[in-house]
Structure 1
Amino acid sequence: MRIGIVCPYSWDVPGGVQFHIRDLAEYFIRLGHEVSVLAPADDDTPLPPYVVSAGRAVPVPYNGSVARLNFGFLSAARVRRWLHDGRFDVIHIHEPTSPSLGLLTCWAAQGPIVATFHTSNPRSRAMIAAYAILQAALEKISARIAVSEYARRTLVEHLGGDAVVIPNGVDVDFFAKAEPNPEWQGDTIGFIGRIDEPRKGLPVLMRALPKILAARPQTRLLVAGRGDEKEAVESLPAELRSRVEFLGMVSDEDKARFLRSVDLYVAPNTGGESFGIILVEALSAGAPVLASDLDAFAQVLDQGAAGELFANEDADALAEAAVRLLEDPARRAELQERGSAHVRRFDWSTVGADILSVYETVTAGAAAVAADDRPSGGGSGLRARLGLARD
């Protein structure tokens, strides 16, 4: 099968959507499919052989963050050329409602289109305002996927229609088999995320840290991610700042080793999360997880069975739970066991097969329509099988 995948966000700025698309593409390539990914990228960005650059992206406020997106006449021309050269059997667009390549591809593409919705934002005024513009493009989509129930809810409430829920995928064994780093072991709390993005929750963790260190002075907080390190510790008393170690950006291999090494992984994110891929990676590595009780996080953690939850933005609750877990190796071992079993449902062997099944369904439906010489709107039976009936 010839598969074209559209990434809305800049390839050179790491993020959950980019990682998902990368792993999905490589999963299908291993199965023998031909895959091409179209993504924004700076001119000097090293790209895998299956990624085609759509040109440099620009920063745009989007979903409570700043996303690097690509839009405009030049981008549209590159989309058309990529579609012409690719002659794809199916096109898979991620975040088709963002002002980026996905929307341009929706407008330009013909044939079966699958769209994945990652965003969870129940109060998106921008999406409501843009409904009329988006609707013509969305009508061309053959099947919709949401990465979680909360992403599906955002889609239903703002744009109508429905989607099948297929979570983000992870190579579970890659994390499970990583070698721990002794330097990161021993009374360590781990955090991975953009330091200067408030919704990732590092300020909440910093507010909790004095209480954690008062109870367990030997504890270290290890922080991996880009951002202003000095600003991150400004709220801490000077004598505690040495207990925070910044590792900067880490490779995929070091991220796996990091998660295999820490005694406790904390995800203090405050909102805007539709899934929580870092939680799945931590569970895969066998790290006990403590996370804010966002709906999406609770779903990933099996409502607290595979990892513990604390009240969102409550630094005291975070501190109390962290101290309790650090002082209870048996409880951490229990979470590791439950998490390692639970996370298998997110492995690419399951997730990739589910996505491929959607591809096969829409391409078979398109072939049947062509054989019957019916108009393109005649695939209502297909949409019904995928749960995608429109309002």
Structure 2
Amino acid sequence: MKIGIVCPYSWDVPGGVQFHIRDLAEHLIRLGHQVSVLAPADDDTPLPPFVVSAGRAVPVPYNGSVARLNFGFISAARVRRWLHEGTFDVIHIHEPTSPSLGLLSCWAAQGPIVATFHTSNPRSRAMIAAYPILQPALEKISARIAVSEYARRTLVEHLGGDAVVIPNGVDVGFFERAEPKAEWQSRSAAAADGSDGGVIGFVGRIDEPRKGLPVLMKALPAILAARPGVRLLVAGRGDEEEAVSGLPKEMRANVEFLGMVSDEDKARLLRSVDLYIAPNTGGESFGIVLVEAMSAGAPVLASDLDAFAQVLDQGGAGELFANEDAGALAAAAIRLLGDPARRAELRRRGSAHVRRFDWSTVGADILSVYETVTDGTSSVAADDRPGLRARFGLARS
């Protein structure tokens, strides 16, 4: 099958959507399909052989963050050329309502179109206001996928229609096979008793408040008061000095910034820590880093966002704390760092739960949607695929 995938966000600044698209493309290529990904990218950005650049993106405030998007007449011409040269059997557009390549491709594409909706934003006035403009494009979509129940609800409430829920995928084996890194482990890791305090990890953009690092920093003094040897490893780009500016100076040595890390080092980090903390405060429709952490065998403590609770099986595969409550975060982290048996239980539960997110399952579900629309079916509604809802525990609301 010849598959064209449209990425709305710049390949230069990796994020959850870009990682999902990259991994999906690589999975499909391994299965023998021909795949081309169209994405914004600067001229000097190293690109995989299956990615075609649609030109430089510009930063635009979008969904509580700043996204790098690509729009305009030149972009539209590049979209049309890519579609014409690709002669794809199916076009898979991610975020077709974003003011970027997704919407341009939806306007220009002919034939079967599959759209994946990633955004979870229950009060998007902009999306409601833009509906008359979006409607002609949305009517061309043959099948809709939402990455979570919360992304589906955003779609239903703002744009109408429905979608099948297929979560983001992860290569579970890649994280399972990663080797822990000695300098990132507890000094007492061999005994797993955390007697030196323990190591906690955070992965995310430092400068983006909704990723929650300020909440974790606010909780850190209480954690260090109870367990003075705790180390916090932070992987991600941003202003490191600003991030620790609120900490007492004597505590700043307990925070180690790793900067941007490779996929391999991210996996090694998640394999090394005693506890992974996801203090995100909002705007999350899924939570791929939670899936990656569970795949690596890291016990997870996360804010109780609806999407995070869903990924963590409502607390069965990882523990939850009240969103933006630094005191609750500190109390839970102190308790877990002092309880190796509970952490071992979370590892077992997480490792079992995460199998449903492996690409062997997620990729097969996406291919099933492709095959349905290319066989001539005009639409795929969520009700037509009840097995997916049952498999991921997602009930209709």
TM-score for the superposition, normalised by structure 2: 0.93
Q: Are positions 1:16 and 2:16 aligned together?
A: yes
Cα 1:41/1:102, change in 2 over 3 Å? same
Aligned to 2:337: 326
Aligned to 1:111: 111
Aligned to 2:5: 5
CA RMSD of aligned residues (A): 1.1
Equivalent residues in 2 for 1:67-216 (5 A)? 67-186=67-186, 187-216=198-227
Cα 1:383/1:363, change in 2 over 3 Å? farther
Gaps of 5+ in 2: 187-197, 387-397
Q: Secondary structure at the match of 1:56?
A: coil
Q: Are positions 1:303 and 2:314 aligned together?
A: yes
Alpha-carbon separation, structure 2, partners of 1:273 and 1:69: 19
Q: Are positions 1:344 and 2:355 aligned together?
A: yes
Alpha-carbon separation, structure 2, partners of 1:263 and 1:60: 37
| Contact 1:142–1:383 (Cα < 8 Å) also in 2 | no
Aligned to 1:385: 384
Aligned to 2:262: 251
Equivalent residues in 2 for 1:226-375 (5 A)? 226-365=237-376
| Contact 2:8–2:39 (Cα < 8 Å) also in 1 | yes
Q: Secondary structure at the match of 1:55?
A: coil
Aligned to 1:371: none
Aligned to 1:374: none
| Contact 2:144–2:381 (Cα < 8 Å) also in 1 | no
Superposed displacement of residue 12, structure 1: 1.1
Question: Deviation string for 1:53-110 (max 9, x for gaps)?
Answer: 0000000000000000000000000000000000000000000000000100000000
| Contact 1:94–1:118 (Cα < 8 Å) also in 2 | yes
* One-letter amino acid of the structure 2 residue matched with residue 317 of structure 1: A
| Contact 2:221–2:251 (Cα < 8 Å) also in 1 | yes
* One-letter amino acid of the structure 1 residue matched with residue 341 of structure 2: A
Alpha-carbon separation, structure 2, partners of 1:135 and 1:181: 50
Cα 1:63/1:320, change in 2 over 3 Å? same
Superposed displacement of residue 385, structure 1: 3.0
| Contact 1:365–1:382 (Cα < 8 Å) also in 2 | no
Q: Secondary structure at the match of 1:46?
A: coil
Q: Secondary structure at the match of 1:318?
A: helix
Superposed displacement of residue 365, structure 1: 1.5
Question: Deviation string for 1:157-216 (max 9, x for gaps)?
Answer: 000000000000000000011000010001100000000100000000000000000000
Superposed displacement of residue 145, structure 1: 0.1
Question: Deviation string for 1:272-291 (max 9, x for gaps)?
Answer: 00000000000000000000
* One-letter amino acid of the structure 1 residue matched with residue 321 of structure 2: F
Identity of aligned residues (%): 86
Superposed displacement of residue 383, structure 1: 8.4
Alpha-carbon separation, structure 1, partners of 2:322 and 2:109: 44
Aligned to 2:61: 61
Alpha-carbon separation, structure 1, partners of 2:98 and 2:385: 23
TM-score for the superposition, normalised by structure 1: 0.95
Q: Secondary structure at the match of 1:365?
A: coil
Question: Deviation string for 1:356-384 (max 9, x for gaps)?
Answer: 00000000025xxxxxxxxxxxx368887
Question: Deviation string for 1:198-248 (max 9, x for gaps)?
Answer: 000000000000000000000000000000000000110111111000000
Match of 1:220 among 231, 234, 239: 231
How many correspondences in the alignment? 375
